[in-house]
């Protein structure tokens, strides 16, 4: 993928009713509204996460959004046009693991920073109980350690509109979040 040929963000809206009718039921009105706003928007088939329908993927950045509602679409679109993640419905980035997405969520919330590409993952350490990340915050040149854990939920959920049985989901919790002392600042 050569992002240099993309001059503006493109939005993919899942409208594939065969996989999950919620995608077409909720995705098609979102597609129409984004089209009305003048966005470079395309309908697409399955992008995973049916239970989050409607799903919108912003490329070339790979940001995923879910459970969007018509009444918030103008605010959503204005955020993205300002090069900011629309955090209330942010699902994560397509090339990050679920654990990375959870760590990113907790750090963005802590820093109140929703700017594109402001976080860079540096290291990851995993044990049986938890996963630790060192994440560099570009605007402040600070590194943070974010420690999370993941368990299966006790509560069970329908995974899509056609589901007949509920299943548990992964639930991520923040164990700790701390600013690390940069070695360069000690010199």
Question: Using one digit for the tens of pLDDT, what is the confidence trace for 3-55?
Answer: 555 567 899 998 887 777 878 888 899 999 999 999 999 998 877 766 667 88
Q: Which segment of 71-75, 123-127, 156-160 scores lowest on mean pLDDT?
A: 156-160
Average model confidence (pLDDT) across the chain: 87
C-alpha dist (Å) from residue 6 to 15, 41, 63: 23, 13, 16
- 184 pLDDT band, cuts 50/70/90, is low
For the stretch 25-29, contacts whose Cβ atoms lie closer than 8 Å and that sit 24 or more positions apart, written own/partner, are 25/53, 25/161, 26/53, 26/54, 26/68, 27/53, 27/54, 27/55, 29/70
What percent of the chain shows pLDDT beyond 70?
90
Please state, in angstroms and rounded to a whole number, the distance separating the CA atoms of residues 145 and 76.
29
Q: Tell me how far the alpha carbon of residue 15 is from its chain's centroid.
A: 19
Please state, in angstroms and rounded to a whole number, the distance separating the CA atoms of residues 181 and 173.
24
Whole-structure pTM value: 0.82
Asked if residue 72 has pLDDT above 90, the reply is: yes
Mean pLDDT of 130-135: 95
Q: Tell me how far the alpha carbon of residue 111 is from its chain's centroid.
A: 16
Mean pLDDT of 101-118: 95
Per-residue model confidence (pLDDT) at position 1: 44
Q: Comparing 8 with 89, which gets the higher pLDDT?
A: 89
- 168 pLDDT band, cuts 50/70/90, is confident
Per-residue model confidence (pLDDT) at position 18: 76
Asked if residue 187 has pLDDT above 70, the reply is: no
Which stretch of DSSP H or E encloses residue 141? Answer: none
């Amino acid at each position: 993928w050569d992002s240099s040929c993309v001059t503006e963000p493109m939005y993919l809206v899942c409208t594939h009713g065969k996989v999950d009718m919620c995608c077409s039921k909720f995705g098609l009105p979102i597609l129409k509204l984004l089209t009305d706003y003048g966005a470079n928007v395309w309908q697409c088939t399955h992008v995973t996460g049916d239970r989050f329908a409607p799903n919108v993927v912003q490329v070339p950045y790979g940001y995923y959004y879910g459970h969007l509602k018509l009444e918030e679409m103008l605010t959503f679109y204005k955020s993205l046009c300002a090069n900011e993640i629309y955090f209330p419905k942010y699902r994560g980035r397509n090339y990050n693991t679920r654990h990375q997405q959870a760590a990113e969520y907790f750090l963005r919330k802590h820093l109140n920073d929703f700017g594109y590409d402001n976080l860079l993952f540096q290291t990851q350490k995993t044990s049986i109980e938890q996963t630790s990340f060192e994440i560099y915050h570009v605007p402040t040149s600070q590194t943070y350690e974010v420690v999370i854990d993941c368990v299966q939920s006790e509560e069970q959920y329908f995974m899509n509109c056609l589901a007949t049985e509920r299943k548990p989901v992964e639930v991520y919790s923040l164990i700790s979040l701390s600013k690390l002392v940069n070695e360069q600042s000690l010199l």
